[in-house]
Structure 1
Amino acid sequence: MNKLLLITILLIIFTGCHENQQWMSKEKSTARKSVLEMTTRSYTAGSSVFTEILPEGSEIGLFITYGNQDSLYKGASLYKNVKSKAVGSSKGSLKWKQTPQVFLRSNRPVMIYAYSPYKVQIPLDPTSIPIKISPIAAEPPSYEYGRLSQGQKEVNRKSPLAKLSMNYALSLLSFEIYQDSDINGLFKLTSIQIGNRAGGNTLQYTGTMDIVTGNIKGTPGAYKATLLTIDPSVTLRHAKAEEQNIRIVPTYSPIREKEVEAIFTINGRTYKYIIPEGTCWNKGYKYSYKLYFDGKDIRLHDSVAYIWTPKLKKK
């Protein structure tokens, strides 16, 4: 009887200790990891004004790694292609929710790289994110890339809040067409097409983007023009013109003589403007062209390049 009582007591003690150890183990495990929190409040290089370039509801892909970009290039990511969705904003910053959740389990700092829009391909090479510009100018997505903001303190288990800066990987061409003051009549603009002249290979419409640099490597032979259909048509005026915007893959090198052309359809007829030799369209920039139509030709009045910081409406 005494032996039975002793065994029972020992079993109770052992079970209690075991459960206590399990509880302590769970407590320590929980304490050793933190859920990544993320915001974006972005501005492009060269601009001191914050402009959120992604609307609420956007989805981006994340690659999280220890160390610098070399780790990413070698495929050493802790988390690969994690979907992150903009779920709200606070004090001018977008908040993001990761699926699945990202747990930071170490005090070792992590580096976070991002791209937009999110793609579900698995595996997805962060140095070769597929991009494609639609031949229909109104349809192409806006491609972005980003990383932890400059001046961001280390992101780790103790400090799980990450702030990302996102940047445009494309170039934006903006055309303003005026009616020359020397002519009268009704002239309606119905389309603009940008592309290579016959045999040219400067502009490409597909390629792959490096998530670290944002540079796009074009696909050889992919030279389709991009057409912007203006519906309803725009009536040309002497003193006022509406911006017509087309996104393109950056050229990265100066355009050769008579290599790229813009074709404008006015009153059912087409008129060409040859992009000047030496022009270079860089990522993250908007190139504004002020053009005049004299009834026979399109001529350039002025062109300006500046940081691309458009105002976006929330979804």
Structure 2
Amino acid sequence: MESINRTAIELVDEALDFAGELDVVGYELDNGATVVDFGVDAAGGVEAGLLLAEIQTAGLANLQTRMGRLAGAPRQYVELSTDHPAVALLCSQKAGWELTTEGGFEGLGSGPARALVGRETEFERVGYYDSSEFATLAVESTALPDEEVAEQVAELAEVDTDGVFLPTFATGSTAGSVTTAARAAELAVFRLLEVGYEPTDVLHASGSAPLAPPTRDETEAMGRTNDALAYGGEVHLQVARDDDRFGEIVSTAGEEYGTPFVEVFEDADWDFYDVPESVFAPARVTVDVVDGPVYTVGETDEELLAESFGYR
């Protein structure tokens, strides 16, 4: 497989080439690193969000939107499909890099740059690490990254700062809502890893979730986008091996099921890392076991979602 950071750079170049059409803004920092604003100060629409999700999955997933219905009303949904779920979703798309600097920057990093560092458990389980002169880290933050952030990424990824690319977005931006909705399949595969299933036995993953209404209130955005996954996210998996733990990978398996995420986060004093990982799961999953049975687990909750999204 080609370096996922190299394939991601081609998609970043596409964003820069079509910045005007996508309503994103790219610029170079003093140390040579490149920032692409997908939704902090820039408008960044749905198409920008789809491209950002492609960057986060290093071009190993297909992304699209479709029109569906939620609580009887029209709603846009984001769909993702990949034949490389372990690498695309766990080793790239997953948001596993906490960014903090002495200058006060805070953000959450996802994307292929994580595979250059490879410190998280999933890299050992998958057996994948990347090597590249480029590092692409998608940054979820209400602030745009500065030179200090780029230097931190460069140091950990062992690349020069002019090889660092930082597409950045706020959770509540349109692009942020799109990329979060694209995570339904990733959550299912990560939950499988957490319960002990071998991630390389997941052969294909497809996911769908409703697009949460964008908002500049980041606390509301965190609630809406996570509700979209936990109560509206649907996933189809094809796996190589049967298991008796598939029922544990959906949100209905958690004690918090039925509680809006705003309340879940409030109970944890808005500390993301104090929230049980089991709540970050899709609502409903179908698992096809090759030469075996088909399992359907979980359920959606459109009423809760409609309330979370502010339906009137």
Same fold (TM over 0.5): no
TM-score by length of 2: 0.24
TM-score by length of 1: 0.24
Larger proportion of strand: 1
Larger proportion of helix: 2
